[in-house]
Amino acid sequence: MVKMTFEVFEVLADIRKFAFDYVIFQLQPNEEILIAEKFLRGQTQAAGQCDGTPANFHAVKEFIRANPDEGVIAVFHLKGRTVALNWSPDSFCLADQLDHLSAFHKLSIKLPTAKRIDLHYLEDVDYKTLSQFVE
């Protein structure tokens, strides 16, 4: 059974408020969802554009590319909408994919208006591709 800490609930409540915020979650072997990386309003990281893409998307993309064999769930804003992105690589075994999908579903319930996107191939983690899903 997937478990979420109080900190995860707090971050999910705050993420919907600010355009350049993002949070990256990882599912641990004990089925606990932990925060791997986050940027919330008030932190000093520069917001804006990175390589022609929003800074929050750029951070999520770089995290996934640095850890391509680890599944992550990222929540961020893209084109004015909250996006919940489930990255579970195609190399995951079926049991891992199902566990990850269960965690994604549990997090998504806390973000009822978020656009849910499920990706399995690294080349799909692209600004143009994700923008098409959001429009």
Q: Is the domain covering 3-42+73-133 a CATH 3.30.980.10 domain?
A: no
Residues forming a β-bridge with 26: 34
- Going by pLDDT thresholds of 50, 70 and 90, the confidence category of residue 131 is confident
Using CA atoms, how far apart are residues 14 and 95, in angstroms rounded to an integer? 31
Strands 49-50 and 32-39: unpaired
Q: What is the pLDDT of residues 8-19, one digit of tens each?
A: 888 887 776 677
* Predicted TM-score (pTM) of this structure: 0.86
- Going by pLDDT thresholds of 50, 70 and 90, the confidence category of residue 48 is low
